[in-house]
């Protein structure tokens, strides 16, 4: 009897696995329920459960609480990871703004299939609930949003942000929070508070182009530190820079770095907090992507291990709720007064209306209930893009495997030229970001960043297929 049961579940599991491989079931598709397998195939519920447990162990399916089983994708089948980066050890002035502008202007082109997305697709965001909050504010607050608001930000909103800090291991007072126009203004204010023109800032390599632009616009230099695509910045190399007094501060995206998607393990974050205390080097932590984790637990922050108050923490609602609201914040007790003065001279205060709307939204909505389906969608979209890259790109392509966030870092064979690919892809109405935008140096010319922010539809599939075709054509012409 047991042999027959084993045979039935194995036979059915093999059929479903074949259907996943041949594309009959695609990543993100819901599979038949246990009761459906029971009725359709004449097997017991326990045998049906064995089918999915077997496929789950192999990485083909995943269980979702109170929802059923869905097609996943085995990470064991993904392309090889990129190597740890190896930037020059010399600090340099940053000059990326012109290149960034060239790419930014392509995003709004009509008819372009974008693989650039820096925020989740609008279909994944709580639009109706935000509209409801906006109507309530307009009806009940009357003209409260007309005057300038508090420089530090709307106090009830800061209280919400303080409570949200519990998720990343913080214990924050509303008085330590300064509301900003997005995370970029927060990071820029922090840079101005801890460094001056001509100073050197240690950064990951590669790192977010917007942070490089902030360093560039302030006349500072960047020292790129080797970075692991899984665990983040290399602490031994960073400590060497501290010990040799090469840097005035460091600027790090600790959770799901854009573009690598790397996430520092808790042990590394704790070690880094100890290093900045030992060498008394301020650290600006950009945690804009921390809420977009795919695993059950949100990753902690470097700030949560900070005992000397040298970590200036920055984040925003741009990646989780609404980028257009332009609501970010920074947390620093030690630097709060100079940051407030800099904020006043920079933009006086952050728009009061979006703060009122977000406060009303958070008064009535649990962030975890909104974030759970968002994270699941981003995870599915990332798996779909990864599988398409494996299918259509050259076999020796390397690819990151982020456990959260919005970015995939693709390393093409050495002879590939991402800028030339970018130009040819635009002729086909496809936009992506060349890798050289994420460095102050001449490197990453054969790399590109793709976004998993948008639902993976036929247009996205076609775009990945077309880029893969262009890569192969380029490589063939250079042999």
Q: pLDDT tens digits, residue range 427-437?
A: 999 999 999 99
Taking the alpha carbons at both ends of the chain, their separation in whole angstroms is: 61
Same domain, 192 and 264: yes
The whole-number pLDDT of residue 150 equals 92
Same domain, 407 and 258: no
CATH number at residue 459: 3.90.1150.10
257 domain-assigned: yes
Whether residue 288 has pLDDT greater than 90? yes
pLDDT (average), residues 196-221 = 97
Q: What gap in Å lies between CA 253 and CA 258, rounded to an integer?
A: 7
Q: What gap in Å lies between CA 469 and CA 76, rounded to an integer?
A: 25
Whether residue 2 has pLDDT greater than 70? no
Question: Which uninterrupted H or E stretch holds 212?
Answer: helix 209-217
For residues 326 and 181, the answer to whether their CB atoms sit within 8 Å is: yes
Same domain, 290 and 346: yes
Tally of domains in the chain: 3
Whether residue 389 has pLDDT greater than 60? yes
Same domain, 277 and 420: no
Percent of the chain with pLDDT over 90: 75
The whole-number pLDDT of residue 1 equals 41
CB atoms inside a 10 Å sphere around CB 171: 8
The whole-number pLDDT of residue 77 equals 62
The whole-number pLDDT of residue 76 equals 54
Exposure pattern of 466-476 as b/e (b: 16+ CB <10 Å)? bbbebbeebbe
38 domain-assigned: yes
Whether residue 3 has pLDDT greater than 60? no
Same domain, 19 and 165: no
The whole-number pLDDT of residue 422 equals 96
Whether residue 147 has pLDDT greater than 70? yes
CATH number at residue 233: 3.40.640.10
Whether residue 75 has pLDDT greater than 60? no
| Residue that terminates a domain, selected from 315, 340, 364 | 364
Whether residue 4 has pLDDT greater than 90? no
For residues 224 and 88, the answer to whether their CB atoms sit within 8 Å is: yes
Whether residue 114 has pLDDT greater than 70? yes
154 domain-assigned: yes
11: containing domain: 2-72
The residue whose two tokens read 């977000």 is 358
- Of the listed ranges 142-146, 269-273, 329-333, 405-409, the least confidently predicted one is 142-146
**Among the listed residues 449, 104, 120, the one whose alpha carbon sits nearest the alpha carbon of residue 258:** 449
Percent of the chain with pLDDT over 70: 96
Tokens of 322: 């609404």
83 domain-assigned: no
pLDDT band at 57 (very low <50, low <70, confident <90, very high): confident
86 domain-assigned: no
pLDDT (average), residues 265-285 = 97
- Of the listed ranges 12-21, 282-291, 340-349, the least confidently predicted one is 12-21
pLDDT (average), residues 28-34 = 90
| Residue that terminates a domain, selected from 340, 364, 388 | 364
| Residue that terminates a domain, selected from 345, 364, 383 | 364
Whether residue 479 has pLDDT greater than 60? yes
Beta bridge partners of 128: none
Same domain, 138 and 271: yes
84 domain-assigned: no
Same domain, 349 and 388: no
The whole-number pLDDT of residue 79 equals 84
The whole-number pLDDT of residue 130 equals 96
Same domain, 321 and 418: no
The whole-number pLDDT of residue 457 equals 92
Whether residue 62 has pLDDT greater than 60? yes
pLDDT (average), residues 286-311 = 96
For residues 211 and 286, the answer to whether their CB atoms sit within 8 Å is: yes
Round the average pLDDT of the chain to a whole number and report it. Answer: 92
Same domain, 216 and 291: yes
Same domain, 327 and 388: no
CATH number at residue 25: 1.10.10.10
Same domain, 229 and 195: yes
82 domain-assigned: no
120 domain-assigned: no
Same domain, 147 and 178: yes
């Amino acid at each position: 009897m047991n042999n027959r049961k084993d045979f039935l579940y194995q036979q059915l599991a093999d059929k479903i696995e074949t259907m996943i491989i041949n594309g009959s079931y695609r990543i993100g598709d819901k599979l038949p329920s246990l009761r459906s397998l029971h009725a359709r195939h004449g097997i017991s519920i326990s045998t049906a459960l064995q089918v999915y447990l077997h496929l789950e162990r192999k990485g083909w399916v995943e269980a979702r609480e109170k929802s059923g089983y869905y097609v996943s994708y085995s990470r064991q089948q993904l392309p090889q990871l990129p190597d740890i980066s190896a930037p020059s050890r010399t600090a340099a002035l940053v000059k990326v703004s012109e290149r960034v502008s060239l790419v930014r202007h392509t995003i709004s082109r009509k008819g372009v299939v974008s693989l650039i997305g820096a925020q989740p697709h609008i279909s994944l965001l709580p639009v109706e609930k935000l509209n409801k909050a906006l109507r309530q504010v307009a009806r009940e607050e009357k003209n409260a949003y007309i005057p300038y608001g508090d420089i530090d930000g709307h106090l009830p909103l800061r209280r919400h942000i303080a409570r949200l800090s519990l998720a990343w291991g913080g214990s924050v007072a509303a008085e330590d929070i300064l509301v900003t126009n997005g995370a970029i203004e927060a990071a820029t204010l922090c840079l101005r508070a801890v460094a001056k023109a001509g100073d050197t800032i240690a950064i990951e390599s590669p790192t977010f182009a917007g942070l490089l632009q902030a360093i560039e616009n302030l006349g500072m230099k960047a020292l790129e530190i080797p970075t692991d695509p899984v665990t983040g910045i290399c602490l031994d190399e960073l400590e060497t820079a501290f010990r040799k007094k090469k840097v005035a501060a460091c600027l790090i995206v600790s959770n799901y770095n854009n573009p690598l998607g790397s996430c520092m393990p808790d042990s590394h974050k704790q070690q880094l907090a100890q290093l900045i205390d030992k060498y008394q080097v301020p650290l600006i932590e950009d945690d804009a992507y921390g809420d977009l984790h795919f695993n059950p637990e949100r990753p902690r922050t470097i700030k949560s291990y900070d005992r000397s108050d040298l970590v200036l923490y920055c984040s925003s609602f741009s990646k989780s709720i609404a980028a257009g609201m332009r609501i970010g914040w920074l947390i620093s007790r030690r630097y709060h007064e100079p940051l407030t003065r800099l904020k006043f001279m920079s933009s006086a205060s952050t728009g009061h209306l979006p703060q009122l709307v977000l406060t009303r939204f958070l008064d009535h909505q649990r962030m975890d209930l909104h974030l759970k389906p968002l994270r699941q969608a981003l995870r599915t979209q990332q798996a779909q893009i990864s599988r398409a890259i494996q299918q259509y790109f050259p076999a020796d392509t390397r690819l990151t495997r982020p456990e959260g966030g919005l970015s995939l870092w693709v390393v093409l064979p050495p002879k590939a030229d991402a800028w030339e690919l970018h130009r040819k892809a635009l002729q086909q109405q496809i936009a992506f970001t060349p890798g050289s935008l994420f460095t102050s140096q001449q490197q990453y010319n054969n790399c590109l960043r793709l976004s998993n922010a948008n639902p993976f539809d036929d247009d996205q599939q076609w775009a990945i297929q077309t880029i893969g075709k262009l890569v192969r054509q380029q490589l063939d012409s250079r042999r």
